[in-house]
Amino acid sequence: MKIGIFSDTHDYLPNIRKAIEVFNREKVDTLIHCGDFVSLFVIKEFKNFNGRILATYGNNDGERTKLKEWLKELNPENEIDDYLTFKIDSLKFFVLHGTNSEVLDAVIRSRKYDVVIYGHTHKKVFKEENEVLVINPGECCGYLTGTATVGVLNTETKEYREFIL
């Protein structure tokens, strides 16, 4: 299965649209958004994705109740919470925004999960640490680094491809 991974969209609609085009072109089944949608209106852009969205709240997401409601209206299988744990294929995932680096480090060190995905820092990470695949897709908005990125993870091969928007 292919999973689309992105974070920190920060209301930047042109890059959200580009990201969804990449995910549709790559035949992604599930999107993982690591937080900081920011405003509710961006959720309307996700109607163009034909799959499930798993998301975490970021430190800049204010309207949590409505954000959850609007995501569920797109697809009842969509989920959003402070963190998520789930299994896809044979891999156990832990997803969070990553605001608290001590929590992030503890989850990685626990080795309870095969894949830990986070955002917040706007810095790309793809590494194996303590036999855990650790991914930060960077920033979809491109505001801080000047480079907007998203990724696609193949859960069968653990191949990760980065896409610059």
What are the pLDDT tens digits along the chain (165 aa)? Answer: 999 999 999 999 999 999 999 999 999 999 999 999 999 999 999 999 989 999 999 999 989 999 999 999 999 999 999 999 999 999 999 999 999 999 999 999 999 999 999 999 999 999 999 899 999 999 999 999 999 999 999 999 999 999 999
The total number of structural domains in the chain stands at: 1
What CATH number should be reported for the domain holding residue 76? 3.60.21.10
Count of alpha carbons within 13 angstroms of residue 158, beta-carbon side = 15
- Beta strands, E only, the chain: 2-6, 30-33, 52-56, 79-81, 83-88, 91-96, 115-117, 124-129, 132-137, 149-154, 160-164
Q: Which range marks the domain in which residue 83 is found? A: 2-164
